[in-house]
Amino acid sequence: MIIASESSKQPNFDDSFQVKAISATVHEFGWSEAVPIYVKNEFGKGVIPYLTNAFLEVNVHIQYWGVIPPAATDEQIASKLYELMTIQTSVFIVHMLPSLGSRLFAKTKEMGMMAKGYVWIITDGMTNSFGSLYVSILDSMQGVLGVKNLC
């Protein structure tokens, strides 16, 4: 499912528009906590201030930050996912480039974290790349919500 965010007031899209769509979705479903999972670089960190503020506006708490190195191995990704399995929150917001995100979701499916009870939302960066992702990767992302800029 794609969640559309319109940015008609500003010609240049920035992360504030997509996080408002994400926070509204999280709030509407009544989820009170979420965990951002992002790549540890400028791209990943760019969304964090916007996401934090958007969640504060709708009273959604961030109890944990899932930070993954840009050159993470499959073992490092699995280790981070095991950490996430131990916390109470089951709503995850993924903000990373498709190359790393596709590996994250392949591992997520392998570890059983795409089952009922988990919620996965991806930001514009991954959603925009759906056409270029391999079918095998898309299979591991069944049920993921994505945000897409309409401009």
Residue-wise pLDDT for 36-91, tens only, equals: 999 998 888 888 889 999 999 999 999 899 999 999 999 999 999 999 999 988 99
Cα(55)–Cα(10) distance, rounded to whole angstroms? 22
Segments forming the whole domain that contains residue 93 = 2-149
Domains identified in the chain, total number:
1
pLDDT at residue 9 in the model: 37
Cα(66)–Cα(38) distance, rounded to whole angstroms? 6
Cα(133)–Cα(109) distance, rounded to whole angstroms? 16
DSSP state of 69: -
Whole-model pTM: value is: 0.84
pLDDT at residue 109 in the model: 92
Predicted confidence band of residue 129 (pLDDT cuts 50, 70, 90): low
Which candidate, 137, 126, 134, places its Cα nearest to that of 145? 126
Is a pLDDT exceeding 70 seen at residue 135? Answer: no
Q: Give me the CATH number covering residue 41.
A: 3.40.50.2300
Give 126 or 51, the one with higher predicted confidence.
51
Mean pLDDT on 129-142: 64
